[in-house]
Amino acid sequence: MQLYVCIKHVPDSAAHISIVDKTHIDENLTFLLNPYDEHAITEAVRIKESLPGVEIIAVCLGKNDADKTLRSALAMGVDRGILITSDKRHDSIETAQALKSAIEQDGTPDLIFTGKESIDAEGMQTMFRIGALFDFPVATNVVRVDIEADRAVVDSALSGGIVNTYELSLPCVLGAGRGLNTPRYPTFPDVVKSKKKPIKKIMFKELNINVSLAGMNIVELEPLLQSREPKEITGDAGEIAETIIRILKDGAKVI
Amino acid sequence: MNKKYDAIIIGAGVIGCPIAYELSKMGYKTLNVDKLPDAGEGSTAGSCAIVRAHYSTADGVAMAYEGFKYWLDWENYLDNVKDEKGLARYMNTGSFLLKSQGHDWKKVKKNYDEVGVQYEELDNDKIKEMVPVADLHEYWPVRRPEDPKFYDEPTKEIEGAIFCPEGGYVNDPALSAHNIMRAAEAKGAEFMFNAEVVDIRSDNGKVAGITLKDGTQIDAGIVVNVGGPHSFKINKMADGVWEGCNIKTKSLRHEVMYCPSPDGYDYLNDGYHMSDGDIGCYVRPEVGNTFLIGSEDPDCDPQQWVDPDDFYAGKGGNGKDNVLTDAQWKAQCYRLGKRIPSLQVPNQPKGVVDLYDCSDDWIPVYDKSDLPGFYMAIGTSGNQYKNAPVVGRMMAELIDACEKGLDHDKEPLQYKFKYTDRSTDVGFFSRKREINYNSSFSVNG
Amino acid sequence: MMKNIGLIIELNNGKIKETNFGMITLARAENTELFAIVIDADTGVLKEDLESFGITNIIDVMLPEGQQNNPVICAKAIITAIKVFNISLVCGLSTAKGKDLLPRIAAFMEAPLIMDCHAIDPEQNLVKTSQYSGKTIATIKLTGEVLILGVRPNAIAPLKAHTSARIVPVELDEKNLVSKGFKVIKTSETDESKNINLADADVIISGGRGMKNADNFDILSKCAEKLTAAVGASRVAVDAGWVPYSMQVGQTGEKVSPLVYIACGISGSMQHFAGMKTSGMIIAINTDATAAIMSNCDYYVKADALEIIPELTKLL
């Protein structure tokens, strides 16, 4: 069984983000494996441990230093990695095409995992595009996966505690949610073992992707500035509570 | 008319507060000024707060051993003051010093014998009994993960360890400074926060007082520099002080990692403080069943000297600012991963980056200065948290003696410890000393 | 040139959710015709409300029997409507339901999609959304024949614009409405709503020393439930054993960046700040007016959180 996990090399969520040229971030900070992809990899490893003959391949589209994120994936139990190198920023449409093409070239996927979203672009859609290109069924924010013979039964979480249970035929594409498992991080012996695992590098332009007429391009990036000017909320408890609700509704727009 | 005090202490961290406390007990009217909003919020808060006795000099060992007694008797030390934030707690885990090529442990043993520190020598079987997750191979010399030899298989084991039943850490260093502040206030000390010193005034060749950023001038015949990583800037503000020091200080950037304990090992409750020169790390437990991993600054790790103001403002860029680096996260966690093979290392770095106020030989400067009335308790080099209460008392006695006419440079004060039957020559900490090559030149002191 | 904009209306028990009206307001522009896409509902009942916000066409989509919960079928039906009515811009709410629906539409059509937009320029095909865990705002240009947008609920307040609408049914070709390899087994409700992750939450309500004991954290939990928020804590509360370490926000706990951080009885030490300073909005409730957080927030309340939060829960 060939399990592919699509992973992304992203800035640490705790990193301070500064903007360069109004369109890019200053990349002089820690990049690491997208946190949701950690859940995807951990699930793939769990499946591998419960079934015979499973191979896990991580695929990543990124610059050369995304190699580091593939190394993290290998240390977490992935068998081998594929890095599609590109210096450009690609939108989800191009990313899905690249990942699909690389997977197709490499083998025959029985199951493709991704994280439910990347913490930088937060597009939440690449897994669906991969599914459409392959004509495979897709589910996202998956918090439980059961593999049976030729299908996967999954719980896909909506908000408010509502969970949809879907049955997808294999091969399928699944976007891992945070509740799926607790990521199993590598020990130092795992890191040592993984150093021998191979990473194949292909260039984006070698993949012969049909340029799509559709696209999403970042034309500007601005920092979200936080200069705080504290304002007091006064009144009795009830009045204060009302004011807070108004602020949450009209100011922060969270209710 | 400027406000006047007997003594102004610059800094309300874990060293500045006990100095105020002891001087107040002696009848001095003291004021601490600190540019941050509360006591212990500066480099004190980033301290690992480890309390252990192994130092490279007998005096170092003696002072640390003396310090224990204060931590163990905390409420009484504070004269039972009430602190609305609660009291910091000393957690006595016991302390391992692994016998490695990274530590001159034989010298430490000699010092222990001289001072009378309790210890046991343990063989590897006994260590494994006490620390079941440990792998006792020798991994020396310390390397970085970028070095291919970092991954070499070990061939032999270390020789065992020295175990001190007395040793551990304080669970909240910032709180401990706050506690001492409350104790000092109960004796009449005053504290001023969000107050940054920009000038030290002198008059007729003696110190006259300070000037704050907002222009406020406060007068005192005694000014004490306890500014932590900012100490060198403060020394430069006072006439002749910087020039009169042979030992200088500067701030060194340090990263301390927080890594979860392996499944099934309750490090928080069952674990020990461990000093492991073989891998260049020291560890102690932290809330969340976490290993707090400090570095012993092995030679292969680049030292980053930074400007403290730029650092705390987050300026300077990757590796200079106050953000953890991935390279150092992996270095410290993987080093510990050799000693504890079941340690799982998350991908996201987590921990604290802060500064040591480092002296040229990693031994503090507890001294007067060339400007009469100006004193300094600086250069703590990441290894003096544990001595704070002792230093408070020692500095108060030094200041008092000097103010009453002692020529400390010619006839150094001999400080008598309160609990340990021993005196220490305060001249050991002189600003005028030559670099002390007996020092370990590291956080080990 | 008249542009047809499709608005996928999200319903709750057959009623239009309030947030749809803000979305319609956001999408309104010159030279546009607004088409509401309504799935499996009594459009006659909904007509008046939709008309008051500028909808001129209500596309009545009835899904085949038994397929109401299937997002694949729903997506394909909407695609039929998009094609039949020449819709070039499709908006839906960026809610949990939207996250399971809009990307399917975009993927099947190979159309561009941006989720969680809070501003739209339908003439220039530009949208604004946040990226990098809420730390930046990205302006994105979309190109393609059909553009799909997931709109942030409550991005703007709804503004009325009365018009009149006609209801148009759309004929679905059941042969094309295939859910290949994808079956809905069931929908269930779990208690997981009580355990929203700190890292993912839009709203965090956090307790510190001012909570006084472990039991009082229940006050925060009840409020959090109403707000769909996560509950956090300062180091003090964790050290005291009132709450587990997993709830700790700060330098050595979790670093969070929610839209709103409500700090209850937290003084705001630098270590705590390091963990939440990038929050969109900080509301501090503390009896101590001199606490550091009171001068480093957006709104402050000089009161006991143990009194304020229950009031808040009552009114929510």
CB contact under 8 A, C269 and B38: yes
What's domain C191-315's superfamily in CATH?
TPP-binding domain (3.40.50.1220)
Q: Can you give the pLDDT at residue C193?
A: 53
So what's the pLDDT on residue C68? 87
Task: Write down the mean pLDDT value for chain C.
Answer: 93
Alpha-helical segments (H) within chain A: 35-50, 67-75, 92-106, 126-134, 188-194, 237-246
pTM for this model (two decimals): 0.94
- Measure the CA–CA gap between B249 and B382, rounded to whole angstroms: 12
Distance from CA of C58 to the nearest CA of A (A): 27
Q: Is the pLDDT of residue B316 over 60?
A: yes
Q: Report yes or no: C40 and C63 within 8 Å, Cβ to Cβ.
A: yes
| pLDDT tens sequence across A113-131 | 999 999 999 999 999 999 9
Q: Tally the domains of chain A.
A: 1
CB-CB neighbors (< 8 A) of C252 in chain B: 258, 286, 350-352
Residue A168 CA to residue A148 CA, distance in Å, equals 10
B354 part of contact set with chain C, CB < 8 Å: no
Residue C164's pLDDT is 96
pLDDT at position B443 is 84
User: Do A165 and C129 count as a contact with CB atoms less than 8 A apart?
Assistant: no
A251–C281 C-beta distance less than 8 A: yes
Q: What is the pLDDT of residue B56?
A: 82
Is A24 part of a structural domain of the chain? yes
Cβ of residue C209 closer than 8 Å to a chain B Cβ: yes
| Helices (H), ranges, chain C | 19-27, 43-51, 71-84, 96-109, 217-227, 235-239, 270-276, 305-315
pLDDT digits over C34-54, tens only? 999 999 999 999 999 999 999
| CATH number of the domain enclosing A132 | 3.40.50.620
Q: Is A13 on the interface with B (CB under 8 A)?
A: yes
C139 contact residues in A (CB cutoff 8 A) = 218-222
In this model, does residue A99 exceed pLDDT 60? yes
CB contact under 8 A, A13 and C199: yes
User: Which domain, by its residues, includes A178?
Assistant: 2-207
Instruction: Report which of residues C71 and A149 the model is more confident about.
Output: C71
Q: How many CA atoms lie within 13 A of B254 on its CB side?
A: 26
Distance in angstroms (rounded) separating the CA atoms of residues A28 and A31: 9
Q: Give the per-residue pLDDT at B201.
A: 97
Q: Which CATH number fits domain B3-86+172-248+360-429: 3.50.50.60, 3.40.50.300, 3.30.300.30, 3.40.50.10490?
A: 3.50.50.60
Burial class (CB in 10 A: 0-12, 13-18, 19+), A106: middle
Please name the residue of chain C whose CA is at the shortest distance from the CA of residue B349. C252
Asked if omega into A230 is within 30° of 0 (cis), the reply is no
**CATH top-level class of B95-165+252-353:** alpha beta
Distance from CA of A133 to the nearest CA of B (A): 31
Angle between helices B58-72 and B105-115 (to 10 degrees): 60
For chains A and B, CB pairs below 8 A equal 57
- pLDDT 10s digits, A171-230: 999 999 988 999 999 999 999 999 999 999 999 999 989 888 899 999 999 998 778 999
B277 confidence band (pLDDT: 50, 70, 90): very high
Which residues of A fall within a CB distance of 8 Å from B318? 28-29
- The answer to whether B334 contacts A188, with C-beta atoms less than 8 Å apart, is yes
From CA C222, how far away is CA B175, in angstroms rounded? 31
Task: Look at the block and give the residue holding tokens 């020529």.
Answer: B407
Residue B68 has pLDDT above 60, yes or no: yes
Task: Please name which of B263, B292, B259 lies closest in space to residue B275, comparing C-alpha atoms.
Answer: B292
CB-CB under 8 Å, B85 with C292: no
Residue A221 lies in a domain: no
Q: Distances in Å between the alpha carbon of C125 and those of B172, B239, C3, C24?
A: 54, 66, 11, 16
Average pLDDT over residues B353-378: 97
Closest-CA residue in chain C for A158?
C96
Q: What are B35-38's contacts with CB under 8 Å, separation 24+?
A: B35/B194, B35/B195, B35/B196, B35/B197, B35/B213, B36/B12, B36/B193, B36/B194, B36/C270, B37/B193, B37/B194, B37/C270, B37/C292, B38/B12, B38/B174, B38/B178, B38/B193, B38/C269, B38/C292
User: 3-state SS string over A40-59?
Assistant: HHHHHHHHHHHCCCCEEEEE
C269 interfacial to chain B (CB closer than 8 Å): yes
Distance from CA of A134 to the nearest CA of B (A): 31
Interchain pair A224, C136: CB under 8 A = yes
Ranges of CATH 3.40.50.620 domains, chain C: 3-169
pLDDT, tens only, C103-150: 999 999 999 999 999 999 988 999 999 999 888 999 999 999 999 999
Q: Are B124 and B157 in contact (CB under 8 A)?
A: yes
Nearest to A56 by CA among A132, A110, A120, A131: A110
Cross-chain Cβ contact B45/C245 below 8 Å: no
Q: Would A251 be classed as within a structural domain?
A: no
Residue ranges of domains in chain B: 3-86+172-248+360-429, 95-165+252-353
A74 occurs within a structural domain: yes
Kindly list the partner chains of chain B, i.e. chains with 3 or more CB atom pairs below 8 Å. Answer: A, C
Q: What is the dihedral of CA B345, B346, B349, B351, to 10 degrees?
A: -70
CA dihedral C212, C213, C214, C217 (to 10 degrees): -30
CB distance C252–B171 less than 8 Å? Answer: no
Distance from CA of C291 to the nearest CA of B (A): 9
Domain with CATH 3.40.50.1220 in chain C: 191-315
From the list A119, A124, A231, the residue facing C99 with the nearest CB is: A124
Q: A198 CA to chain C: closest CA distance, Å? A: 31
pLDDT > 90: percent of chain B: 90
Return d(Cα B365, Cα B123) in angstroms, integer: 38
**B50-51: strand order across its sheet:** B50-51, B168-170, B90-92
**Tens digits of residue pLDDT in B150-209:** 999 999 999 999 999 999 999 999 999 999 999 999 999 999 999 999 999 999 999 999
Distance from CA of C236 to the nearest CA of B (A): 9
- C-alpha C228: how far from chain center: 11
Name the nearest CA neighbour of B225 among B104, B364, B128, B347.
B364
Burial class, B265, CB count within 10 angstroms (exposed 0-12 / middle 13-18 / buried 19+): middle
Distance CA C64, CA C169 (A): 14
Contacts of residue C107 in chain A, CB cutoff 8 Å?
96, 125, 128-129, 131-132, 138
Q: What whole-number percentage of chain C has pLDDT above 90?
A: 77
> What mean pLDDT do residues A67-75 have?
98
- Contact criterion met (CB < 8 Å) for A30 and B349: yes
* Comparison of pLDDT for C14 and A101, the residue scoring more: A101
- Which range, of B98-107, B111-120, B317-326, B365-374, averages the lowest pLDDT? B317-326
Q: Does residue A163 form part of some domain? A: yes
* CA nearest to A96, candidates A215, A251, A233, A12: A215
Task: Judge if ipTM > 0.90.
Answer: yes
**Distance from the B315 Cα atom to the nearest Cα atom in chain A, whole angstroms:** 11
With an 8 Å Cβ cutoff, are A189 and B341 in contact? yes
CATH class (in words) of the domain with range C3-169: alpha beta
User: Closest residue of B to C239, CA-based?
Assistant: B287
Using one digit for the tens of pLDDT, what is the confidence trace for B408-433? 999 999 999 999 889 999 999 999 99
**Chain C positions in Cβ-Cβ contact with residue A143 (cut-off 8 Å):** 192
Specify the pLDDT at position A208: 83
Nearest residue on chain C to A232, alpha-carbon basis: C300
Q: What is the DSSP string of B115-142?
A: HT---EEE-HHHHHHH-TT---B--PSP
Summarize the confidence of residues C171-198 as an average pLDDT: 85
| Contact flag B337-A183 (C-beta cutoff 8 Å) | no
| pLDDT confidence tier of residue C192, bands split at 50, 70 and 90 | low
* Residue where the block lists tokens 């408890």: A237
Residues of chain A neighbouring C315 (CB-CB closer than 8 A): 238, 241-242, 245
Contact C298 A241 (CB under 8 A): no
Q: What was the pLDDT predicted at A82?
A: 98
**Chains linked to C by 3 or more Cβ pairs within 8 Å:** A, B
